[in-house]
Amino acid sequence: MGNCCNKANEKEKANSQSFILDKENWMLNGFCTPSIYFEEDNNINYAKSQDKLGKNCQKIRKSLNREFAYSERLYQVELLKLWKNNIRAGIPNCLIRPLLIKLLDIKDQASVYNITSIQAYPETDSHNSEFKAPESPPTFSSNSLSELVPKFYVTPEGKTALERILFVIESSHIIEFCPEISSFISLLLIYFKEHEACSIVSKIIRASWEKDEKYRWHFTLTEEELVRFMTFCEAILKKNIYTLRPHFMNNVNIIGVVRDMYITNFIGYFKLPSLLRIFLYFISGGAKAFLRVVYAIFYFLKDEIPEEAVDIKSLVKSKCDTLDIDGILQCAAQAKLFPCLNTNSNYLEMPIPKRNSSIFMSTLIVESSILSITDLYWIWSNMTDFYKTFIPKLIFSSKTDGSSISAILGKCSNIDQKVPVILAISSMENYVVGAFLDCIFHMENDYFGSGESFVFSLSPVKKFFQSTGNNELYCYVQKDMMIFGGGGHGPALTIDGDLMKCSSYQCETYRNDVLGSSTFDIRCLEVIVLAGS
């Protein structure tokens, strides 16, 4: 019996690994150039990773036989948790084509595609020697195909298939501007037959046009949308990676690199085996997945980019070669998505879902004796999107760091004045109240802050009171008092210099209810800054 088990195990092991790097099992379905794949694979030892992924091949293959909840609309597809995790961890190359055909509900419409392609991209007519097919395919931009796809990983036949697909797309879709489509199709053709690749990109184009109804999208489709998306990417990098701020101030063209990454689908930045891992992650997650990967790349490179870098694109490309793809995707996956209740972000002006809007947000972990994780997520939901990428860090607790406003100011003195801050107070009566301010606490002779400030109550009831714009009395700090809001019946919160007493009134700045009670004794007061990574 033991021998039988051993033989069975050996057979299963052989079956699970025999097709991992065998071009017969996946490369011949598409137009991949095997020599390039294996050459780049050896350079970065990616075969070992594929071998590791192959151990789960049998389980994944069985899962392909399960029923998937999909409809004709691509992004009503519900990716099972298994697939979300596997796509992030990596799918063996041999299973990517059957997986995506199953998940995206791609039908075999080769005959229909052939008719369409002949109409869109006719070859030279033997009866009309003067007629020839157009010399250059549409790229939905002012760039040539070679400029948009810096390296072709497909065979010459694959490149011709790419050109035909571009003509078919032009004839069947209205696209104003979308340079990223060319590189996207060129990578699809590594795995898929020509008509399959065209079906996939057509579905994704339709889903991208319907951003107001969809949760994920891939293509911007107009130049204006691309600019807005890049502006949002810039805001994410600025606010989430502090060490890049000087680069932006010195006009280092980081966002130009991000734009190039988006248009080329990272071709030229990573070796092909790693590139395909990112590509599958992008297919499954859309623009948000792209944003996560960009964040991860610059997170790892943040200390290696000089503030006065001249050829920033070449530098980033050379550095990307040294990055571990598993580390990149793991870092990207750690950025969480959270329901956005506000709609005043520039990014939300883009036609993305209004009811299920989500943003890129850091993991919320902070050692607070006042705020629970649930409380933190509730506070985050009331911030503008601009601040949701920040990481909370406790810098002051009256339990351990002193009982005075002077002690708070001492903790804040070495922090950039532009760093946002949360104040949380628990009372002897078990009230929990607080405030959010878009800059660090400091002493001034006048009020400071902006309209993004707000005050809140967490206990006994959860209530949020944002700035009304009626005045600018957001915050005032001296050593003997800390005040939030003004006008009306009095400040929303007034804290004494010894952090012992607090009072609350209905004020005009936030038009708030009394927070807790009109006066109460402070049990604990904490200051949490929103720091970069």
**Cis upstream peptide for 460 (omega within 30°):** yes
Query: Does the CA dihedral 26-30-34-38 come out positive or negative?
Result: negative
Residues 6 or more apart whose Cβ sits within 8 Å of residue 2: none
Query: Does the CA dihedral 31-34-37-40 come out positive or negative?
Result: negative
Q: How far apart are CA 185 and CA 183, in angstroms?
A: 5
Question: What was the pLDDT predicted at 343?
Answer: 30
Q: How far apart are CA 503 and CA 517, in angstroms?
A: 7
Q: Burial, 209: exposed, middle or buried (Cβ in 10 Å; 0-12, 13-18, 19+)?
A: middle
The number of angstroms, rounded, from the C-alpha of 177 to the middle of its chain's C-alpha atoms is: 22
Q: How far apart are CA 345 and CA 351, in angstroms?
A: 12
The answer to whether 97 and 192 have CB atoms below 8 angstroms apart is yes
Question: What was the pLDDT predicted at 528?
Answer: 94
Q: How far apart are CA 528 and CA 11, in angstroms?
A: 57
The answer to whether 394 and 437 have CB atoms below 8 angstroms apart is no
Helix (H) or strand (E) holding 378: helix 373-381
Beta bridge partners of 530: 392
**Where in 200-354 does DSSP place strands (E)?**
336-339
pTM of the entire predicted model: 0.59
Question: What was the pLDDT predicted at 188?
Answer: 95
Show the DSSP H helices in 104-240 as ranges. 110-120, 145-148, 156-172, 180-191, 194-209, 223-240
pLDDT in tens, the chain (533 residues): 444 444 444 444 444 333 344 444 566 678 887 777 777 766 555 555 566 566 555 556 655 555 444 433 333 344 445 566 667 667 777 778 877 887 777 877 776 677 777 767 766 444 445 545 556 899 999 999 999 999 999 999 999 999 999 999 998 888 989 999 999 999 999 999 999 999 999 988 988 876 534 436 789 889 988 998 898 888 888 877 777 878 887 888 899 999 999 999 999 999 988 899 999 999 888 888 899 899 889 988 888 888 776 788 999 999 998 888 888 887 787 654 333 323 333 333 333 333 233 444 455 566 789 998 778 878 887 887 677 767 888 999 999 999 999 999 999 998 988 899 999 999 999 999 999 999 999 999 999 998 889 999 999 999 999 998 889 999 999 999 999 999 999 999 999 999 999 999 999 999 999 999 999 999 999 999 987 64
